[in-house]
Structure 1
Amino acid sequence: MRKYACLLLFALILNGCDDGDVTVETLDFSDIKQASSCPSSNNQLVYKIKSQESLLLQLDEDTFENEPTLPGKPNTYQIDDNKFKLYYRSYDGPVGIPNICDFIPPTTPNVINEWYAKSGRIEIATTAITSTNSTTNAITITGYSHNIVIKNITYSVSSLDITQPQVVFGDFTTTVADVDKLDLAFTRPLVQCPTSKQIYTYNTKSAMTIDAIDPLLIKNEATAANSPRRGLIGSTVNKLLYKLFTGPPVSDDYFCGTTIPTTPTVKETWTGVDGVANTTGIIEVTTTTAVNNQFKHTIVLKNTSIKKGNNFVNLGTSYVLGELLTK
């Protein structure tokens, strides 16, 4: 009964705030599906605006992670009036982005009411936004959608504490920065390390390797037409790795040594998803004879995915890793 009395009091207080410009009966921004952020805030100030109202959510740096959450297990943060804050404002005229984001905001409209949340739990459920190549069926991640819900909020309104069970703040979208995009285009020939037998290729900022490759896949014997050698990607044998680097460009010096160089620095590591016979994660090697008594091994990955945490990227129906020459 006490809860319903508080809600009734909340409604009476809000109705009593009407000065002829705007009357708010409930805190509801659900009709605005997408939240926005100020360009210079590094996603630390997220907001929604409508007509003469705004809802502002201040967050700690890097709150929005490029990592999908598991179903029913959102990331949670507590409103603390320090790193995490929630404000509601109403105005005496139409409100725009400059009123929220400008360092020196316009003089109009004026803020006529401001309420802040004293406590509450912010829940953020994140999903990956993907794009599928219609030709190769490759699936890449282009961004992330963060669904924000705030629960058990206590507001300070006219010196009174009012509790609201839930406010659906809505969705906020982040994009993958150019420096973090996976560059899966490799034009260099494949190389096999003489001792570890690791197979690698690279471009300026990333590398793809197969560690502990099954020696039966790389044989100096031509394969019959349409009969490539086949193996499955695994966690120990035929271990597929994709690494994204920061720092100086990758070179051959990074590979085949007894110790891993400290530069360039590995920023992300994606591992191949274990293959399923005749279905996914298949390595195909077609071997033909080449000049100078060499053999050319063309390595193709079929229906292969790589993962990092809860992120998954599919390389497509048939991904040509490259060609390896052996004697």
Structure 2
Amino acid sequence: MKRIITLLALSLLVNSCDDGDLTQENISFDAVTVQRCTTNALLYKLKENEALIFEARNITFPTETTSQEINISATNRIIYRFYNSTVSAATICESIPPAIPVVTEEWTATGGKIVINTTAVKSTNDTDNSSKITGYNHNITFKNITFNKVNGTQVYETFTFGDYVMSTKTLPFAFTKIIKQCSVTKQLYDKNSSEALILDIDSALIVNAVTPLNTPRVGLISTIKNKLTYRLFSGLLTDDYFCNTTFPATPAISEEWIAVAGVADTSGMIEVTTTANGNAFKHTVVIKKAKLKKGNSDFLLGDNYIYGELLTTN
């Protein structure tokens, strides 16, 4: 009988020992906001005495809608830490971290992929249905990530890190609404010192004849005729930039947005109303429901964007 009891006790002791196999300890930061250190490339999530750290040293977070997949590596590290007390941003971001709290356990990712899906964050004007891009949201997920732990490894097929939102300066659109026209190409443009809105207008829309009441001349935006282009420049923009055979290289273009082709009675329409102005004619150009696009990002000019007024004479 004593031998049986001894064998049972030994069996229980052996089964209770850690054999080094995987132990499914759950890491959960789903309800925690992604933050970023201001002095380095660390993104992190904190929860009481836990920290999930993403060192994005060699990663560019783009200002356009796109996707990228990067290998977890020595320069793009993922680390999970457990502390002996509550952890704060100072613990993560300071070059010389405070002595307390102390790391009691650390897991380091040794393999897997970092997937970043970037989309534009927009604000919409409910009055005119225009929109502006105010930032970019970078949704970060780790695929097939393997953590090295003290007692083995742990693998997650899909691990959601979360959304990292970067704000961006909205496009100024600080135009004068006074349109100028090139004498040869008949191209229209409105400009200030740093941006231009250029319209390769159909010549049939600018005619020195008064349009009937509530009957403007109408055209559709396309990639050639009635092509609408917005450009933001990194240097001083003057009238010398326009009306040349080709556009000069300076000032350099920092952003270019091109309107998508219009659909009759639906979107991307140009309306020109012409009135007499003494011995001249005033052409008021309105762009209706136009969408401007750069890469995979876009924004709306609104239901009725007043491009401006052009004065012509016979």
Contact 2:64 2:120 in 1 (8 A): yes
Report deviation, 1:187. Answer: 1.1
Candidates 195, 198, 201, aligned match of 2:187: 198
Q: Which one of 199, 202, 218 corresponds to residue 214 of structure 1?
A: 202
Q: 1:306 to 1:173 in 2, by over 3 A?
A: same
The Cα of 1:188 is off from its aligned counterpart by: 4.8
Does residue 1:324 correspond to 2:310, yes or no?
Answer: yes
Give the Cα separation in 2 of the matches to 1:60 and 1:234: 42
Partners of 2:71 and 2:304 in 1: how far apart? Answer: 46
TM-score w.r.t. structure 2 length? 0.89
Aligned counterparts, 1:230-249, within 5 A:
230-247=218-235, 249=236
Who is 1:91 aligned against? 83
- For 2:131, the equivalent position in structure 1 comes to 139
Instruction: Find the counterpart in structure 1 of residue 70 from structure 2.
Output: 77
**Displacement of 1:231:** 0.2
**8 A Cα contact 1:48 1:55, kept in partner:** yes
AA aligned to 2:185 is: S
Aligned-residue Cα RMSD (Å) equals 1.8
For 1:273, the aligned partner's letter is: V
Distance 1:61 1:218, change over 3 A: farther
Residues 152 and 166, structure 1, Cα contact 8 Å, conserved in 2: yes
Q: What is the distance in 1 between the residues matched to 2:224 and 2:269?
A: 15
Larger radius of gyration: 2
Q: Which residue of 2 aligns with 1:35?
A: 34
Q: What is the deviation of 1:99?
A: 0.7
SS at match of 1:155: strand
Aligned to 2:271: 284
SS of the counterpart of 1:216? helix
- Residues of 2 paired with 1:109 and 1:200: CA distance? 61
Give the partner amino acid of 1:31.
A
The letter for the 2-side match of 1:202 is K
CA distance in 2, matches of 1:204, 1:137: 27
State yes or no: 1:224 paired with 2:212.
yes
Amino acid of the residue matched to residue 301 of structure 1?
Answer: I
Contact 2:22–2:153 (CA under 8 A) maintained in structure 1: no
Once residues 268 and 207 of structure 1 are traced to their aligned partners in structure 2, the CA distance between those partners, rounded to angstroms, is 11
User: Is the aligned partner of 1:260 residue 2:253?
Assistant: no
Q: CA deviation at 1:161?
A: 3.9
Deviations 1:94-130 (A, max 9, x none): 0001111122222211111122111111111222211
SS in 2 for 1:250: coil
The 1-side partners of 2:123 and 2:226 are apart by 27
Q: How does 1:14-163 map to 2 (within 5 A)?
A: 25-32=25-32, 34-41=33-40, 44-61=41-58, 63-69=60-66, 74-82=67-75, 84-158=76-150, 160-163=152-155
CA shift, 1:144, in A, is 1.6
Shift of 1:11: 2.0
In 2: Cα distance, 1:81 partner to 1:161 partner: 18
Equivalent residues of 2:144, 2:157 under 8 A apart: yes
Superposed CA offset, 1:14-48 (max 9, x none): xxxxxxxxxxx31221122x21111223xx32110
Alpha-carbon separation, structure 2, partners of 1:229 and 1:60: 55
Report the counterpart of residue 11 of structure 2 in structure 1.
Answer: none
Can you give the 5+ residue segments of structure 2 that lack an aligned partner in the other structure? Answer: 1-19
- The aligned counterpart of 1:182 is 171
Report if aligned partners of 2:177, 2:306 keep a CA contact under 8 Å in 1: no
Unmatched 5+ stretches in structure 1: 1-7, 13-24
Q: Distance in 2 between matches of 1:115 and 1:250?
A: 53
| Structure number having the greater strand percentage | 2
Cα distance between partner residues in 2 of 1:253 and 1:325: 20
| 2:306 is the alignment partner of 1:313 | no
| 8 Å CA contact 1:11, 1:26 repeated in 2 | no
The size of the alignment, in residue pairs, is 295
Moved over 6 A (4+): none
Where 1:315 maps in the other structure, the secondary structure is: strand
Question: Could you tell which deviates more after superposition, 141-150 or 308-317?
Answer: 141-150
Residues 253-285 of structure 1 show CA distances to partners (whole Å, capped at 9, x for unaligned) of: 111122322221101110011000011000000
Task: Trace 1:265-276 onto structure 2 (pairs within 5 A).
Answer: 265-276=252-263
Q: Which amino acid is the alignment partner of residue 299 of structure 1?
A: V
Counterpart Cα distance in 2 of 1:175 and 1:156: 35
